[in-house]
A and B are shown apart, each in its own frame.
Chain A
Amino acid sequence: MTRTISFILNNEPYTLDVDIRLSLLEVLREQGLTSVKQGCGVGECGACTVLIDNIPVDSCMYLALWADGKTIRTVEGESRAGEISPVQRAYIDAGAVQCGYCTPGFIMTSTAFVEKYQGQAVDRELIRREHAGNLCRCTGYETIICAVESCLQEQSS
């Protein structure tokens, strides 16, 4: 059973016939967007995080056909004119990337966070809270939090 759905993916309009049984994660990977990782598959690790209408969602437990009419962002769409995004740059500068498997999901969560809290006073506890749905087994999180903090500081300065 398939349904025809239309959505905006990384600024490009798409119309696809999708099997109703597929998760958004599976459809995005079929489209070649392999930044979207399957980690746990049950909404605990956040490696499959994408932004749907600018809200972080675990694409492993989101039916692909729910994307109809939505705007989806993945890491593949975050660079502009050959330049990586400020959040991506901050992760590199802070040394927040080690094995890299969790990184695309983290980048999307951080991107939504930085956009939401632009210009507001944010403490580290809030950064931790709002990144609690993404697991990283390498970094110990400290560098990730530093990366997010530096993005907020850059924006306010």
Chain B
Amino acid sequence: MFNIETYNKVQSVSEAVALLAENSQARVLAGGTDVLIRLREGDDSYSQLIDIHDLAELQQVQQLADGEISIGAGVTFSQLMDNRIIQESLPLVAQAAGTVGGPQVRNVATIGGNLCNGAISADSAAALYVLEAVLEIEGVNGVRDLPIGKFYLGPGQVALEHSEVLRAIRIPAVSYRDYGTHYYKYAMRNSMDIATIGCAAACKVKAGCFDTLKIAFTVAAPKPMRALSAEKFAVGQAVTPELINEIAVLVLQDLNPRDSWRASKEFRLHIIKTLARRVIMAAAGVAEA
């Protein structure tokens, strides 16, 4: 039995926002794979719940006329993997979704929950950073847009006001069209594990040179992070193994991995370089094909 003190099942996001505004202790419950576990562990800060589970208005994946793709915050990872729009236009998102937990977790866990709990290991984060996703957030004063780069503040901390709810994740066409992408999650096990390091890259290659490179990491700093210096360095240079080796060292300039029981800082630095190489190589391969 979960120690739930108050419970409201809402019929709309605006209802959830109104209830959050009334109760400073209330928390949002979506897929439940984090919140219910914390409750079970006795964390009473989750005992007053506003339930948005199964809310239809959060479960759409849409592609607009200009190509922008909008993913409802309540879409599960399995739904993302099976969605035709995602498979065709955002294979990076499908790839990242497939690395979350195990099948049963992916069947209920939502992409919005993955972002909003602020975990620096969030499997969807690196992909959404390189895709320069825009988060659509509803609050008492209406809806605002926030670039994902400004969403994470630190471990477990995101730029959501107490009464705000993430509605959707939007990816503009310019962020994915003509890009080659790749994601790799390094963890001790292939499933049911938390990333030691996650790395996503997206690039455009023209006449054998990087036209654009975007590369982002999870668990490599106190929040998900793009390696902007390395990205800038790559532009205009010929795609060669030597260049990619150089980029893989440069990414460290923007990152600051920590020691934890999961992995030492030294080991993380090693994985970061290795993944940078491997992921950029794979993304460039897709871009050139």
A residues sitting closer than 8 Å to B (CB atoms) are 1, 19-23, 26, 41-44, 46, 49, 55-58, 61-63, 65-66, 109, 129-134
Contacts and interface: CB of A to CB of B under 8 A. Distances in A.
B23 to A, nearest CB: 16
A116 B118 CA distance: 33
Nearest to B51: A63
B1 A21 contact: yes
B268 interface: no
Nearest to A50: B104
Contacts of B172: none
A21 B107 contact: no
Contacts of A44: 102, 192
Chain B CB within 10 A, most for which of A23, A61, A129: A61
A21 B2 contact: yes
Given A42-B37, A66-B53, A22 B1 contact: yes
Given A1-B7, A46-B102, A133-B102, A57 B107 contact: yes
Contacts of B191: 129, 132-133
Interface string B47-81: 00001011000000000000000000000001000
20 contacts: A22-B1, A23-B36, A43-B37, A49-B104, A55-B78, A58-B104, A61-B108, A63-B32, A63-B36, A63-B53, A66-B54, A109-B103, A129-B103, A130-B103, A132-B102, A132-B190, A133-B101, A133-B102, A133-B103, A133-B192
B240 interface: no
Nearest to A129: B191
Given A19-B1, A21-B4, A133 B104 contact: yes
B103 A56 contact: yes
A132 B53 contact: no
B1 A57 contact: no
A63 B35 CA distance: 11
Given A43-B104, A61-B40, A133-B192, 11 more contacts: A20-B4, A21-B3, A44-B192, A57-B107, A62-B32, A62-B36, A62-B108, A63-B2, A63-B36, A129-B103, A133-B102
A6 B105 CA distance: 24
Interface in B101-157: 101-105, 107-108
B89 interface: no
B14 interface: no
A26 B87 CA distance: 37
Lowest 7 CB-CB distances: which A-B pairs, in order?
Answer: A133-B102, A132-B191, A133-B104, A58-B104, A132-B102, A61-B36, A133-B103
B102 A20 contact: no
A41 B53 contact: no
Given A133-B191, A133-B192, A61 B103 contact: no
Contact of B104 (A19, A46, A66): A46
A134 B53 CA distance: 24
Contacts of A42: 37, 40
Given A62-B32, A132-B192, A133-B191, A43 B105 contact: yes
Given A20-B7, A43-B37, A66-B53, A132 B2 contact: no
Chain B CB within 10 A, most for which of A46, A63, A66: A63
Contacts of B54: 66
Contacts of A65: 9
Interface string B88-101: 00000000000001
A1 B102 CA distance: 32
Nearest to B3: A21
Given A42-B40, A61-B32, A66-B54, A56 B104 contact: yes
B107 A56 contact: yes
A26 B104 CA distance: 18
